[in-house]
Amino acid sequence: AEALGAGENLEAVEAAESRLLVTLADSAAIDRDRLAALAPRGFATVSPTLIHLLTGPGAEAWPLRLRAPAEMG
């Protein structure tokens, strides 16, 4: 997902109920406007390298989509 600074910026992606916990190598690399469009219910910056994408039901399917070569949206 280019909104997250491309695949090399993703250190970890974990599904947790209705959100994704995304650990980033460089939070400055994210595109906040594109990220807002990507996450159906928004996102929250938890720490400089951790964000939560608020996905709603079906969060477990998102890690594969984020790591896919083609961007989602």
User: 19 exposed, middle or buried (CB, 10 Å; 0-12, 13-18, 19+)?
Assistant: buried
24 forms beta bridges with 10
Question: What is the SS3 assignment for 2?
Answer: helix
pLDDT single digits (tens) 23-61: 999 989 999 998 888 887 889 999 999 999 998 887 887
pLDDT single digits (tens) 48-57: 999 999 988 8
pTM (two decimals): 0.76
Asked if the model's pLDDT at residue 20 lies above 50, the reply is: yes
Asked if the model's pLDDT at residue 73 lies above 50, the reply is: no
